[in-house]
């Protein structure tokens, strides 16, 4: 049997006496688009921080395509193909949008940067990166902002550039923390549709945190994991989530 893109098993994270993540287990398959939803403070971002190696988990394990990365450093986990974005976007504010996308990932160049840049193969690779960057901006519908400084962008636009940066690393597993927060409704839906297509086309394991239940239910994700106080309340496809009694009581009201 092939391993899932991401396997999280019994993941727990304590901050002193506070158990922020309480024995969470789930998987995301390659080519699967999964939503992670739950109320403020229920442990969604902490789950991302543990998976991506930013925080050391208290117990449990994380595997990326069958590779145990539980005790690996964040940069090692990224090298296995897992990329994540942060809830609070961090762009290079004095650089343009396109420059933000083109900042090379670590270890892209040989130790001598100048010699590396002069090599024809490097120039070709850089040209390809530029083409990729414009394709990514087009997909996110912000290609007209390519030469704007990041400091000029709205919160929603910054979020989109941040997704773009994550996509530039050609991730095999992509974790997006509230990627469309602050993005106007119709555009947010379009971006989700485009991410859906990309997930299938590139066979990415995609896990997206979203805080709006109505929104996630109509965006065509394959599966939704509903978290409450550090635990999984339920998981299922959008129809199953819509009909789940616990979810109805917690989110949807008894209409």
Q: Does residue number 89 form part of the binding site for Mg ion (CB under 5 A)?
A: no
Of the two residues 53 and 81, which places its CB atom closer to ligand ATP in the complex?
Answer: 53
Which one of 5, 7, 34, 46 is in contact with ligand ATP (CB under 6 A)? Answer: 46
Of the two residues 45 and 78, which places its CB atom closer to ligand ATP in the complex?
Answer: 45
Q: Does residue number 19 form part of the binding site for ligand ATP (CB under 6 A)?
A: no
Copy the structure tokens of residue 176. Answer: 């997006």
Pick left, alpha or beta for residue 178 (phi over 0 → left; psi -120 to 50 → alpha; otherwise beta).
left
Of the two residues 18 and 113, which places its CB atom closer to ligand ATP in the complex?
Answer: 18
| Helices of type H across the chain | 44-51, 74-79, 97-102, 113-118, 120-139, 155-168, 185-202, 213-217, 238-243, 245-247
Least distance in angstroms from the C-beta of 153 to ligand ATP: 21
CA distance 251 to 244: 10
Copy the structure tokens of residue 68. Answer: 């145990």
Among the candidate windows 39-47, 60-68, 137-145, 191-199, which touches ligand ATP by CB under 6 A?
Answer: 39-47
Question: What residues contact residue 112 under an 8 Å CB cut-off, 6+ apart?
Answer: none
67-96 residues near ligand ATP, rule: CB under 6 A: 87
Q: Does residue number 15 form part of the binding site for ligand ATP (CB under 6 A)?
A: yes
Q: Does residue number 155 form part of the binding site for ligand ATP (CB under 6 A)?
A: no
CA distance 159 to 175: 13
**Phi, psi at 130, each rounded to 5°:** -65, -45
38 binds, among ligand ATP, Mg ion, none (CB under 5 to 8 A by kind): ligand ATP
Binding site for ligand ATP (CB under 6 A): 15, 18, 20, 38, 40-46, 87, 211
């Amino acid at each position: 049997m092939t391993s899932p893109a991401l396997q999280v098993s019994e993941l727990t994270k304590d901050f002193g006496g506070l158990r922020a993540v309480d024995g969470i287990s789930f998987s995301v398959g390659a080519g699967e688009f999964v939503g992670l939803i739950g109320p403020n403070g229920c442990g969604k971002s902490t789950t991302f921080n543990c998976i991506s190696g930013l925080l050391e988990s208290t117990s449990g394990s994380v595997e990326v395509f069958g590779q145990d990365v539980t005790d690996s450093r964040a940069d090692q986990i990224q090298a296995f193909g897992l990329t994540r974005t942060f809830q609070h976007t961090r762009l290079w504010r004095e650089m343009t949008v396109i420059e933000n996308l083109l900042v090379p990932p670590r270890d892209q160049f040989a130790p001598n940067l100048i010699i590396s840049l002069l090599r024809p193969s490097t120039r070709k690779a850089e040209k390809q990166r530029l083409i990729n960057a414009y394709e990514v901006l087009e997909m996110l519908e912000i290609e007209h902002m390519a030469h704007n400084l990041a400091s000029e962008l709205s919160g929603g636009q910054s979020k989109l550039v941040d997704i773009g940066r994550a996509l530039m690393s050609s991730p095999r597993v992509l974790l997006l923390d509230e990627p469309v927060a602050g993005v106007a409704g119709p555009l947010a839906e379009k971006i989700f549709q485009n991410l859906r297509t990309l997930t299938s086309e590139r066979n990415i394991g995609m896990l997206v945190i979203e805080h709006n239940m109505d929104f996630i239910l109509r965006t065509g994700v394959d599966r939704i994991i509903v978290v409450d106080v550090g635990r999984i309340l339920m998981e299922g496809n959008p129809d199953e989530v819509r009909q789940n009694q616990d979810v109805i009581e917690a989110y949807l009201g008894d209409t």
